[in-house]
Amino acid sequence: MGRGKAKIGVSSVTANCVTKDMIVVNGQFPGPTIYAVEGDTIIVNVTNNAGSGVTIHWHGVRQVLSCWQDGVGYITQCPLKQGDSFVYNFTLQGQTGTVFWHAHTTWLRATVHGAIVVFPRDFTYPHTKPDDQFIVTLGEWWNGDPEAIEIAGLEGGGPFQLADALLVNGKPGYRYNCTDVEGITRFTISAGKTYLLRVINAGLNTEEFLGIANHKQTVVEVDGEYVTPTDFDTTYIGPGQTMNVLITADQAPGSYYMEAKGYSSVILTDPAELPAAAVQVILNDVPKIPASALFQYDSAPVLDPSTTFYPGLPAENDSSFAMQFENSLFTLRPQDVPLNATRNMLFTVGTASQFCEPSQNCTFRAAGEVNNITFVLPKIDLLQAYYFGIEGVYTTDFPDFPESPFFYTSPDSPPTAQQISKLGTRVSVLEYGTVLDLVLQGTMVFAFESHPFHLHGYHFYVLGRGQGDWDPINSPSTLNYYNPPHRFTVDVPSRGWVAIRFAATNPGVWFLHCHLEKHTSWGMQMAFIVKNGVGPDQTLPPPPPRLTACAA
């Protein structure tokens, strides 16, 4: 069992040559790491002195029969108000690996996040045992206040301000003028040793490519689940994903830079339909300067120009690289994949121009949608409303399929009716034990981009992905039902689809959303209610004694 205190409050933090007051946990940025062993119970007493409402979500923790502890604002609990405290208490049942925690209200995740490392019970790994381990948290920095930037973006109805810097463990690195060698995250390594990097993309809005000069990355785990060890020069990681990578210090002793570079998957369907300025804004999708960190051999002088090396990375818009990377991952436990689906759904995910017809030229009044519904957060959390049968909070008519099928990725589609999404707090109800095959189909009115979709309370199998439209006749034969990777966040490719499968055996209310916060802000999300089965091990227990109060 592990116990800790998390005080959420304002501290002075410096990065990117700016010192500002920002909301962090225990005065640290990134926040403290939780180290645990598989099966441990974690108890964290969270106190909120942030001035605004906060919850803490344990991202990737499956929360078996503990949905009340999932920490999603207005989904599983109401946010802690200023001065409130709440004790989270959950067990890391049947899972190991790298996951993380983060605030799950407004844009606070930008500054309120930290790693969770779950060691296997006997400290043995199904891959080469590393000599040492490092946490590599990828993040973003805004010189201003992220919560204010979210509000400004929502009020403006258009894109949100880009981050001012990308970060590795809270530091932007050498490419940003203001940093010297002390302003960079440094990992000291010894020749011949093997290291496990526990990489977390805790950023809000930036999918990234990751490279380390001259060193191969062997991916051994994604999203806290082992995969067949596979070598890459570059890896890809979206917000809400984690990845364990082995590197061996097998190069001439020297200084080797790691770089984390923003990836933009935006494809405009028909730029001619948009004003040039708008095209510029859409394409200017990620910060252009990579974050960096230094892998320094302890036997070599620091940054001697003759022994300092830089990685090469794919082009910013190399979407085939991202797709190829995710297609190269395979679970080590094929025996666990459920054999057949008992229910099928297809969700379009994308953006719509919510408040007006495209012909009115107000294309930036954008809304996120899933099956053409823009999710509206309720005033009372869904879980409480469901458990206590409180009426009027949500409806259970979330559709299994888009209202009318269309060519999702054709420039002329979707038809006008689909371009205006409907507001609603709708959920989809799953019987206990349903094996759901769900296709997430990218679609958009004027431009496509990829979406790292995250499901709470579960890992799902990623059966496959493809470009263009999912074809119910021909696409299933392209899927991998044998050893698909087991993930909790998957990249829905730009102008393409991904198919996932999971068995709904964890009762509760579980959020499904794009983990790009700019899209969550626009409502690109929905929730599943998974009903109880029979017997206590299939039934959601009653809530903890003290629920956070919802506004009257």
- Give the interface with ligand C2O as residue ranges (CB under 6 A): 57, 59, 72, 102, 104, 240, 454, 456, 511, 513, 515
Binds 501: which of ligand C2O, Cu ion, none (CB < 5-8 Å by kind): none
Give the residue carrying structure tokens 């990218």. Answer: 442
Q: Which DSSP state fits 431?
A: -
Binds 57: which of Cu ion, ligand C2O, none (CB < 5-8 Å by kind): ligand C2O
Gap between the Cα atoms of 59 and 53, Å rounded: 19
Choose between 283 and 302: whose C-beta lies nearer to Cu ion: 283
Least separation in angstroms between CB 60 and ligand C2O: 8
Q: Which stretch binds Cu ion (CB under 5 A): 74-82, 107-115, 289-297, 508-516?
A: 508-516
Cβ contact 103:113 at 8 Å: yes
Q: For 191, phi and psi rounded to 5 degrees?
A: -55, 135
Least separation in angstroms between CB 107 and ligand C2O: 13
Choose between 97 and 240: whose C-beta lies nearer to ligand C2O: 240
Least separation in angstroms between CB 513 and Cu ion: 8
Choose between 211 and 238: whose C-beta lies nearer to ligand C2O: 238
Gap between the Cα atoms of 375 and 369, Å rounded: 7
Choose between 215 and 515: whose C-beta lies nearer to ligand C2O: 515
Least separation in angstroms between CB 410 and Cu ion: 20
Helix (H) or strand (E) holding 444: strand 435-444
Choose between 102 and 459: whose C-beta lies nearer to ligand C2O: 102
The CB-side HSE value for 352 (13 A sphere, CA atoms) comes to 28
Least separation in angstroms between CB 281 and Cu ion: 17
Gap between the Cα atoms of 56 and 59, Å rounded: 9
Q: Which stretch binds Cu ion (CB under 5 A): 285-293, 405-413, 421-429, 451-459?
A: 451-459
Choose between 8 and 332: whose C-beta lies nearer to ligand C2O: 8
Contacts for 289 with CB less than 8 Å, ≥ 6 apart: 165, 166, 172, 175, 176
Choose between 202 and 212: whose C-beta lies nearer to ligand C2O: 202
Choose between 238 and 414: whose C-beta lies nearer to ligand C2O: 238
Closest by alpha carbon to 210, among 176, 252, 175, 261?
261
Least separation in angstroms between CB 446 and ligand C2O: 27
Least separation in angstroms between CB 306 and ligand C2O: 43
Binds 513: which of ligand C2O, Cu ion, none (CB < 5-8 Å by kind): ligand C2O
Q: How large is the C-alpha radius of gyration of the chain? A: 22
Choose between 258 and 530: whose C-beta lies nearer to ligand C2O: 530
Binds 514: which of Cu ion, ligand C2O, none (CB < 5-8 Å by kind): Cu ion
List 516, 527, 529, 540, residue binding Cu ion (CB under 5 A): 516
Sheet with 435-444, edge to edge strand ranges: 422-424, 373-375, 366-370, 343-353, 435-444, 496-503, 460-467, 486-487
- For the chain, the maximum distance between any two Cα atoms, rounded to a whole number of angstroms, is 69
Q: Which DSSP state fits 106?
A: T
Choose between 76 and 296: whose C-beta lies nearer to ligand C2O: 76
Encoded tokens for 299 = 């036997």
- Residue 410 CB: number of other CB atoms within 10 A? 12
If one asks whether residue 293 binds Cu ion (CB under 5 A), the answer comes out as: no
Give the residue carrying structure tokens 């590599």. Answer: 136
Least separation in angstroms between CB 395 and Cu ion: 24
Alpha carbon 274 to its chain centroid, in Å, reads: 30
Choose between 426 and 513: whose C-beta lies nearer to ligand C2O: 513
Residue ranges with strand state E in 142-266: 165-168, 185-189, 194-201, 207-212, 217-222, 225-232, 234-237, 242-248, 255-263
- Residue 160 CB: number of other CB atoms within 10 A? 23
Count of chain residues binding Cu ion (CB under 5 A): 4
Gap between the Cα atoms of 291 and 179, Å rounded: 11
Binds 454: which of Cu ion, ligand C2O, none (CB < 5-8 Å by kind): ligand C2O
Residue of minimal Cβ distance to ligand C2O: 59
If one asks whether residue 514 binds Cu ion (CB under 5 A), the answer comes out as: yes
Contacts for 460 with CB less than 8 Å, ≥ 6 apart: 438, 486, 487, 488, 490, 500, 501, 502
**What Cα–Cα distance (Å) separates residue 62 from each residue in 96, 100, 368?**
11, 12, 26
Binds 519: which of Cu ion, ligand C2O, none (CB < 5-8 Å by kind): Cu ion
Least separation in angstroms between CB 34 and ligand C2O: 15
Q: For 218, phi and psi rounded to 5 degrees?
A: -105, 110
Gap between the Cα atoms of 142 and 349, Å rounded: 27
List 409, 519, 521, 522, residue binding Cu ion (CB under 5 A): 519
Q: Which stretch binds Cu ion (CB under 5 A): 25-33, 48-56, 358-366, 447-455?
A: 447-455
Binds 516: which of Cu ion, ligand C2O, none (CB < 5-8 Å by kind): Cu ion
- Interface residues toward Cu ion, by CB under 5 A: 451, 514, 516, 519
